[in-house]
Amino acid sequence: MLGRDKIIELLKSLTREAREYGVGQAEALYLGSHASTTRFANSEIIQNVKESNRTIYFRVLLDRKLGMASTNSLHIEDLRRCLKKAIAIAKQSKPLKFFDSFPEPSKYFDFKTHFFETASFTISDKIEMLDDIFKKLKSETKSPLTLILSPKGRGKGEGVKAGGALSTLETELALSNSNGIMAYQPFTSAHISLITSAVSASGFASQFERNIKNINTKRLLSIALEKTIIKNKPKKLKPGRYTVILEPAAVNEILEWLVYIGFGAESFIDGTSFMAESIGKKIMSKKMTIYDDGADLSGFPVPFDFEGAAKKRLDIVQNGIAKGIAFDTLLAKKYRRKTTGHALIPEDVEGPFPSNVFIKAGGHTIDEMAAMIERGIMVTRFHYVNGLLDTKTASMTGMTRDGTFYIEDGKIKYPIEDMRFTESILEAFSRVEAISSQRQAFPIPWNDVGACIVPGLLIKDFNFSD
Amino acid sequence: MTLSPLPKHTFIPVLQHTISYLKKKGVEYTDVRFEENASEGVMARDGEVDRLWDNLDTGFGIRVLYKGAWGFAASSLLTETETKKMADAALSQAKAIAKIQGSRGKGQGAIDKNPPVRIKYKAPYQIDPFIIPLEERLSPILKATSLHLTPDTSIRGQALQKIHTIEGFLDFQKTHKTFLNTEGSFIEQEFYTIGAGIKVIAVDGNDVQVRSFPDSHNGIFRQGGYERIIEMDILKNTPRVIDETILLLKADECPSGEKMVILGGSQVALQIHESIGHAVELDRAMGMEISLAGGTFLTPDKLGKQICSKIVNIYADPTIEGGAGSYIYDDEGTKSKRVDIIKNGRFVDFLTSRETAKRLSVGSGKWEVGKKPAPAGSKQGSNGSVRANGWNNIPIIRMSNINIEPQQGVLNDLIADTKDGILLQTNKSWSIDTLRLNFQFGMEIGWEIKKGKITRPLKNCVYSGITPQFWKSCNAICGKEEWQMYGLNSCGKGDPIQSISVGHGAAPTRFDRVKIGAVKC
């Protein structure tokens, strides 16, 4: 960690230098990270990586002409070259009629987002944590852990194997602009995904925390094993419409795609979003409320976005009614709106996106939801969901993985083979019957500081295709 | 305030010193990669630049093998202190794993030795894209994305009003890699990678139709200079693409059932990518990718088995000039070469690394595959299929250019030879299961074929299948005239995920009894 003072001093000097080159406004964003991931497979650690990176992104405005450039070299010559490149791009660009200013200073919430326990978690600590899982797994499955490659790529024999990844991340996000913004926030996060695999079944559990001390490997192993240690071979179920319980990990896969194809300004503007021309209209069940809130302490709070705009709540879908879209300053000014505080790093062409997304919790446990089902399917998670089939109806497809079960008369009866779903999520989310009270946090793919906070859903007539 | 990093020309000796330092510490093997990546990206919309960015990304990664265990540490900070810090970090990772797991490769070594190489290589290109003035550089994309904006009162002009947006993408990258290892290799490679494409979006109420050129998902990526952009001739092709997009708004939905299907070349490329290319990665077969990407149905016991029809020959070839996945040495210092993957329909080899090839050939440790003969390629060690996305990632098994051998004839011949079928062009969506078996692809456009002639366009087409059954139904592949290199820049694998450029040589190909339908919900 460089720390607030060093980074802000560096960014201030760079924006000052930019002004000396004659630009109207200048912005310097610092994103520094120290990441460490330990991967494991077949109950062995197979990979360790540690990465330390620091990137500075410049944006300059010169007579309404915008230029952007970035570098991760902190050599003064490279920083100057990068700044001059941003200025050169601005000089060669056409003036933006709509864009005249970077954000102005505003008051940020004060959150604790950095935890020493996570930042100081060493490789030895990680190995110890994982070895503990391997030992527990060995004792709980009480069988020799021999592995022969099986036709399905899973462990053949009597043992259960653990695979997955444990990662920690320490991030510093800082921004200075010539309008007077000086923002700095350090973050940490820890994520573990655990897959337990046996001959014909596998289970999954994950946990995402700011403080690694909250990660409970005993609980995770118990969840994953419960899905793995099964008496019967998975049965094949006919494709068709079934009542389903999508556990939080499965809902999260879908939510990520909803964000990508529908909740950001880019797709809203180009007309491909299901939210385009739907604001104020009912698009889902009134049970469904989706919002973004960087200030919600029950999630992964973030005080400001990647251009220094303060975070605030954005209602996206409220009781099934489409309400709002995530904007940054650039697109907000182009379409005569106000930024919602969702800018990503300047070179991200697909954003802005909501980055602290919540689905409002319901009032049931997953077991209570299962008890509501006469005949149905429980899905632990999906693999390779794709939401580009028809973005206007949010039609998606994907495969189930790591624990799919048939439910009969309110109880899980037996595991079933993985199935493909193909479904309009707007229609599916219009048939939501119940929402779990417990929600789970998941990292988001489009930045390192936010999260999705997601419950399980009970949905009627969910379509499983061939 | 800056962190006083070293100038780059003085940094290489620091890395050489690091290799010596780690040797003295008793490592089994070490390699260091120093990469400088300069890139420029443009997103244009309706004739205007939406975002244009320039990026310089530099750093180094150190990989250590100690008593059969690996460690990897990388940093963007080019200082002597940071280099030593990362070397120590990589070594301590490997030591910590070796201590708890024992020496996996003890007695036989976790990898075979490679001969030392000293070489400098620059991939060929004609026009350096970075020296072309910005206005000229962007011109084809800006003009193409504004073609629907010209005032036009004709019938076509009225139809143009249905075009909501035209987006354009340009991507220029220059990568310089310096690789050093304890075997004495010093390899420098430099590549330019260029990508471009347009996406036409038409909206009519709730119907959104998209057509892309020369391919979807930001276009085609290839090594080479600005001449690649000129070759694409995007401006000339855009009016046709616009017309097809408008046509789709009024087109019928794709019928459901089983049909003879001809896949356009770019979709054959993606079909190879998802169902063959990823499936033959040996780290997947060994369960090492289970945490994110999954496994594969192609385990070593499938070697020699017929998984495609006899006319299908698929090979990996990083030595091809101009592929998005071309190189002469991979990121662990192994010389690249052509490798047969599917020969006359039979699965004959994996994509391998030094570690996985060794494990497969000796059936070491827990990988009890000794009962099956190891593939010919793996007996000779790695087949040079390892790359990392940038300095900050550990090298893993990746596709290079995975190509299908052309057969004969042109697309029109294939259409004329098809009594009842559908030609499917340009990918819209993709999904496949963890074992690379059950796939579904959505397509931008379909063309109904009756009695050897195209009769009407079809929209919202989807096809699905199970990999071996699908490839066994392949009954025709077009010839050299139709074969071309496609490339994508966003192949994801690994954890943390690494996104890398991959090439595919492909030609239109026909499959029988393919399950098709419209997007059904």
Summarize pLDDT for A54-106 with one digit per residue, the tens: 999 999 999 999 999 999 998 888 999 999 999 999 998 889 888 889 999 99
Q: CB A399 to CB B430 under 8 A? A: no
pLDDT of residue B179: 98
* CA dist B492 → A140, B346, B424, B498 (Å): 35, 27, 25, 5
Tell me: do A133 and A258 sit in the same domain: no
Chain B: give the shortest CA distance to residue A420, in Å. Answer: 8
The answer on A373 and A298 residing in a single domain is yes
Is A45 domain-assigned?
no
Please indicate, yes or no, if residue A85 is contained in any of the structural domains. no
Among the partner-chain residues A46, A269, A420, the one whose CB lies closest to the CB of B440 is A420
The answer to whether B302 and B436 have CB atoms below 8 angstroms apart is no
Provide mean pLDDT across the span A394-423: 96
The yes-or-no verdict on residue B437 having pLDDT over 90 is: yes
Mutate to test the interface with B, among A122, A148, A149, A256 (most CBs of B within 10 A): A149
Beta-carbon contacts of residue A216 (< 8 Å; ≥ 6 apart): A207
Neighbours of B182 (CB within 10 A): 19
A245: domain range? 240-465
In a domain, A283, yes or no: yes
Domain co-membership, A221 together with A250: no
* Chain A residues lying within 8 Å of B397, measured CB to CB: none
Chain A: closest CA distance from residue B237 (Å): 21
- Is-contact A123 B92, C-beta < 8 A? yes
pLDDT of residue B191: 96
Q: pLDDT (tens digit, 9 = 90+) per residue, A301-350?
A: 999 999 999 999 999 999 999 999 999 999 999 888 999 999 999 988 88
Q: What is the mean pLDDT of residues B304-321?
A: 97
Which of B207, B208, B520 shows the shortest C-beta gap to A422?
B520
DSSP track, A12-74: HHHHHHHHHTT-SEEEEEEEEEEEEEEEEETTEEEEEEEEEEEEEEEEEEETTEEEEEEES--
Tell whether A209 is covered by a domain. yes
d(CA A289, CA A321): 8
Is A9 near chain B, with CB under 8 Å?
yes
User: In terms of DSSP bridges, do strands B163-181 and B29-45 run parallel, antiparallel, or are they unpaired?
Assistant: antiparallel
Distances in Å between the Cα of A188 and the Cα atoms of A36, A37, A125, B510 are 12, 14, 16, 51
Considering chain B, what is the average pLDDT of its residues?
92
List phi, psi (to 5°) of B479. -90, -170
Query: What is the band of B193 on the pLDDT scale with cuts at 50, 70, 90?
Result: very high
- The SS3 call for residue B14 is helix
Show which of residues 86-105 on chain A sit within 8 Å of chain B, judged by CB atoms. Answer: 86, 89, 92-94
| A37 closest CB neighbour out of B94, B210, B496 | B496
Residues A416 and A293 in one domain: yes
- How much is the average pLDDT of A405-426? 96
Number of domain units in chain A: 2
The residues facing B289 across adjacent strands are none
Please state, in angstroms and as integers, the Cα–Cα distance from residue A440 to each residue in A208, A210, A220, A248, A453, following that order.
8, 13, 13, 6, 5
| In the predicted structure, residue A258 carries a pLDDT above the cut 60 | yes
In this prediction the ipTM stands at 0.93
pLDDT of residue A142: 60
Give the C-alpha separation, A281 to A35, whole Å: 42
Residue intervals in chain B for CATH 3.30.2290.10: 8-38+55-120
| β-strand partners of B505 | B485
Banded model confidence at residue B7, pLDDT cuts 50, 70, 90: low
Q: What average pLDDT does the segment B504-508 reach?
A: 98
Do residues A446 and A364 both lie within one domain?
yes
- Tens digits of residue pLDDT in A158-212: 579 999 999 999 999 999 999 999 999 999 999 999 999 987 889 999 999 999 9
Average pLDDT over residues B345-351: 97
Query: Cα(A123)–Cα(B97) distance, rounded to whole angstroms?
Result: 9
Q: How many residues does chain A have?
A: 466
Sequence-distant (≥ 6) Cβ neighbours of residue A102 within 8 angstroms: A25, A27, A59, A61, A177, A178, A179, A181, A307, A308, A329
Asked if B97 and A45 come within 8 Å (Cβ–Cβ), the reply is yes
Tens-place pLDDT, residues B239-251: 999 999 999 999 9
Q: Give yes or no: residues A251 and A383 share one domain.
A: yes
Peptide bond into A352 cis (omega under 30): yes
A180 touches chain B (CB under 8 A): no
**Closest to B58 (Cβ–Cβ): which among A72, A93, A147?**
A72
Q: Is residue A61 in a domain?
A: no
Encoded amino acid at B106, one letter? K
Query: Chain A interface, mutation test: which of B11, B33, B53, most A Cβ atoms within 10 Å?
Result: B53
Helix and strand totals (H; E) in chain A: 10, 19
Q: Are A278 and A421 within one domain?
A: yes
pLDDT computed for residue B112 by the predictor: 85
> What is the structure's pLDDT at B104?
52
**Per-residue buried b or exposed e for B20-29, using 16+ beta carbons within 10 Å of the residue's own CB:** ebbeeeebbb
Q: Tell me the pLDDT band of B3, cut-offs 50, 70 and 90.
A: low
Percent composition of chain B: helix, strand, coil (DSSP 3-state, to 5): 25, 40, 35
- Coil vs helix vs strand at A150: coil
Structural tokens at position B377 = 């390629």
Q: B380 pLDDT exceeds 90?
A: no
Taking the C-alpha atoms of residue B21 and residue B9, their distance in angstroms, rounded to an integer, is: 20
Contact of B430 with chain A, judged by CB distance below 8 Å, is answered with yes
Q: Is the pLDDT of residue B9 over 80?
A: no
> Nearest by CB to B53, which of A72, A92, A346?
A346
pLDDT at B277: 98
- For chain A, the C-alpha Rg in angstroms (whole number) is 24
User: Distance between CA B184 and CA B71 in Å, rounded?
Assistant: 20
Same domain? For A285 and A372 the reply is yes
Grouping H, G, I as helix, E, B as strand and the rest as coil, residue A164 is strand
Please count the residue pairs, one from chain A and one from chain B, whose beta carbons lie less than 8 angstroms apart: 285
CATH 3.40.800.10 fits B8-38+55-120, yes or no: no
List beta partners, residue B33: B61, B179
Residue A90 is assigned to a structural domain of this protein: no
Q: Does B41 touch chain A (CB under 8 A)?
A: yes
pLDDT value, residue A196:
95
| Nearest by Cα to B458 from B257, B243, B244, B258 | B244
pLDDT tens digits for range B125-144? 999 999 998 889 999 999 99
Best residue of A52, A121, A171 to probe chain B, by most B CBs closer than 10 Å: A52
B92 contact A CB<8A? yes
Can you tell me the distance from the alpha carbon of B182 to that of B185, in angstroms, rounded to the nearest whole number?
7
**Residues linked to residue A187 through DSSP beta bridges, in sequence order:** A171
Beta strands at B252-253 and B453-459: parallel, antiparallel or unpaired: parallel
Residues of chain B in contact with residue A75, where contact means CB-CB under 8 angstroms, are 2, 4-5, 7, 78
The CA R_g of chain B, rounded to the nearest whole Å, is 24
Q: Do the beta carbons of residue A378 and residue A370 sit within 8 Å?
A: yes
> B26 with B76: CB under 8 angstroms?
no
Please, which residues bridge with residue A69 across strands?
A58, B54
Query: pLDDT tens digits, residue range A26-38?
Result: 999 999 999 999 9
Across the interface, whether the CB atoms of B58 and A53 are under 8 A apart is answered no
pLDDT in tens, B449-458: 999 999 999 9
- Say if CB A258 and CB A457 are below 8 A apart: no
Please compute the mean of the pLDDT values over residues B430-442 and round it to a whole number: 96
pLDDT at B205 (0 to 100): 87
User: Could you give the CA distance from residue A244 to residue A227 in angstroms, rounded to a whole number?
Assistant: 16
| One-letter-per-residue 3-state SS of B95-157 | HHHHHHHCCCCCCCCCCCCCCCCEEEEECCCCCCHHHCCHHHHHHHHHHHCCHHHCCCCCHHH
Residues A130 and A162 in one domain: yes
pLDDT digits (tens, 9 = 90+) for A110-128: 999 999 999 999 999 999 9
| Distance of alpha carbon B197 from alpha carbon B220, whole angstroms | 7
How buried is A227 (Cβ within 10 angstroms: 0-12 exposed, 13-18 middle, 19+ buried)?
A: buried
